[in-house]
């Protein structure tokens, strides 16, 4: 990645995350702390499990939509940030410089898209959850494609991938991977609705508008 694109990633991601942390205050109370922590840990392990999609390529859950459904937008941004930072620092999954861009894609764009779709389709939860999951992954991957192409242009081909290749390739693979995200997220939400409906109520869709 081109250094300027990396800087831009940090510059865009940090204020949104800071805002989410600041606004979290209204939502968190003693009761929700262990719940948020366990959800974050659950998403961490879910991200390790790749599933095959097509032609030797695999995908794995991002989990942003699940986090938004259960914790609301600010909670999801904070939780996704924690997961990505641990993956980067402890497990070397994604370099330190790329962390800003990863944060922007998966801790900012993905939850924002999920939140937007969930709000737009409020009252149609059966449709809203899968659509939000699919869109969050697809748009985050599109953003990643744009970053790769911007890197290519700015660095004169030294970094990144030319846009006419990067954008369709990222979008194409992730359109399929996102179906996996939609199936898994919907499954988990339906399951929780059945066994622990109170979890869906702490959140979320009801309060998220505030």
Partner 1 sequence: MSRRGYLKAAMGVLLLFAIGLVGYFALSAGSPDGLERVMEDNGVEEGDQLWSAPLDYGGDWGTAFVAGLIGFALTFGAVYLYLKVYLKGGSARRKA
Distance between CA 118 and CA 67 in Å, rounded? Answer: 12
Expressed in percent and rounded to 5, the helix, strand and coil fractions of the chain are 75, 5, 20
Please report, to the nearest 10 degrees, the dihedral formed by the alpha carbons of residues 113, 114, 117, 118 taken in order: -150
Q: For the chain, first and last CA: distance in Å?
A: 37
Rule CB under 8 A: say whether 51 interacts with partner 1.
yes
Rule CB under 8 A: say whether 25 interacts with partner 1.
yes
Rule CB under 8 A: say whether 62 interacts with partner 1.
no
Closer CB to partner 1, 8 or 32, in the complex:
32
- Binding track over 138-167 against partner 1, x by CB under 8 A: ---x--xx--x-----------xx---xx-
Rule CB under 8 A: say whether 190 interacts with partner 1.
no
CB distance 97 to 74 below 8 Å: no
Cross-strand partners of 54? 57
30, 194, 197, 209: residue in contact with partner 1 (rule CB under 8 A)? 30
CB distance 187 to 169 below 8 Å: no
CA distances from 114 to 1, 21, 29 (A): 26, 18, 24
Rule CB under 8 A: say whether 58 interacts with partner 1.
yes
For residue 208, give the 3-state DSSP assignment: coil
7, 18, 19, 57: residue in contact with partner 1 (rule CB under 8 A)? 57
18, 91, 126, 193: residue in contact with partner 1 (rule CB under 8 A)? 91
Radius of gyration from C-alpha coordinates of the chain = 17
12, 23, 42, 179: residue in contact with partner 1 (rule CB under 8 A)? 42
Rule CB under 8 A: say whether 123 interacts with partner 1.
no
**Segment interacting with partner 1, rule: CB under 8 A, options 11-19, 35-43, 112-120, 125-133:** 35-43
Footprint on this chain of partner 1 (rule: CB under 8 A): 21, 24-25, 28-30, 33-38, 40-46, 48-53, 56-60, 78-79, 82-83, 86-93, 95-97, 141, 144-145, 148, 160-161, 165-166, 169-170, 173-174, 177, 196, 198-199
């Amino acid at each position: 990645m081109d250094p300027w694109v990396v800087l831009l990633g940090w510059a865009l991601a940090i204020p949104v995350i800071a805002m989410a942390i600041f606004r979290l205050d209204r939502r968190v109370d003693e009761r929700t702390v262990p719940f948020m922590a366990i959800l974050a840990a659950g998403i961490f392990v879910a991200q390790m499990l790749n599933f095959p999609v097509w032609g030797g390529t695999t995908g794995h859950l991002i989990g942003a939509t699940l986090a938004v459904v259960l914790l609301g937008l600010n909670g999801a941004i904070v939780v996704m940030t924690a997961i990505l930072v641990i993956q980067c620092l402890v497990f070397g999954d994604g370099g330190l410089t790329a962390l800003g861009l990863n944060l922007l894609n998966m801790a900012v764009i993905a939850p924002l898209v999920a939140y937007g779709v969930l709000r737009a389709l409020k009252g149609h939860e059966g449709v809203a959850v899968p659509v939000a999951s699919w869109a969050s992954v697809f748009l985050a991957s599109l953003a990643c494609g744009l970053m790769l192409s911007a890197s290519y242009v700015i660095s004169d081909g030294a970094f990144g991938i030319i846009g006419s290749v990067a954008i369709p390739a990222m979008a194409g693979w992730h359109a399929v991977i996102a179906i996996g995200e939609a199936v898994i997220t919907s499954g988990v939400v339906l399951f929780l609705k059945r066994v622990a409906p109170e979890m869906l109520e702490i959140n979320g869709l009801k309060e998220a508008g505030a």
